[in-house]
Amino acid sequence: MEIQAECMSCFLSQVLKSIRLLRPNMENEEIVEVQKKVMRKIIHENHTKLPYYGKIVYQTIAEEIKDPDPYRTIKQRDNNLVQTLIPQIKQVLKSSSDPLFTAVKLMIIGNTIDFGAPHSFNIEEDLNKIEDATLNAKTMEHFRQKLIQSRVLFIIGDNCGEAVFDKIFIEFIQKHYPSIQIIYGVRGGPAINDITRIEADEIGLSEICKVVEGSLSPGVIFEEVSSEFINVFQNADLIISKGQGNFESLEGISKSLNLKPKGSIFYLLKAKCSVVAGIFNAPIGTLIFEKEK
């Protein structure tokens, strides 16, 4: 996804939101200086894809508050919170007349947890409304067929907390589609509240499937991911891209001569800003489930 004019004000809002959360005593003048530093760096960035700019924003914040992983405590908190909801989540899945459909919806509801988004979230409220949530029926049918045909499923993860939902989905697939090998992609280092190998180990993800590292950004920057990540991405039969940052990175990749994957990509996310909501012609807050064209 190409950077849009609306994204510029969002970058500055993310700086303000992050510093107010992480360093509530920082003076207004200091916050403005951090915003200026971010904009100076953005001015010299020539890439058009959004993940490069997200990396600038959050690395600058980390540098200014002198903490390489400023969301670390929040990531642990979110994982712990969702782990307390596991019995409720599994009961929702168990009582469903279409467990795969519900499992997909649960994965998207998990994407509610995102500190890079301009809106707040209420995960328990979303869980209570899951029966009312709708998804693209045609996309769901394509996904069912691809799942049956696939040997390797690559899930590109996004936020902590959300990753616990992903783990439940992985366990569901392993039970009902035991022939599928599942590989899970994490960030290559701290990026907002996104999951890294550290948190994947803590919640037991790395105990149930292979974990590979991507880039140190809130999305996918292919020049920075591990060779293992690229190999899995290009050769998996089926790819699930979680969240808005990964969508912004991968949208349109089917037209790339060098990076086009063998398998189909399905985007699972909650529309959290007007730009992304506009792409899908849906209101902000809509659960999105779409296949890469």
Average pLDDT for runs of 10 along the chain of length 293: 90 95 96 97 90 95 96 95 94 94 94 60 74 89 97 97 97 98 97 96 98 96 95 97 95 89 96 92 93 93
Is residue 141 classed exposed, middle or buried when 0-12, 13-18 and 19+ CB atoms within 10 A define those classes?
exposed
**What is residue 218's predicted lDDT score, i.e. its pLDDT?**
94
**What is residue 114's predicted lDDT score, i.e. its pLDDT?**
62
**What is residue 2's predicted lDDT score, i.e. its pLDDT?**
86
Give me the phi and psi of 80, to 5 degrees please.
Answer: -65, -40
pTM exceeds 0.75 for this model: yes
**What is residue 115's predicted lDDT score, i.e. its pLDDT?**
57
**What is residue 118's predicted lDDT score, i.e. its pLDDT?**
47
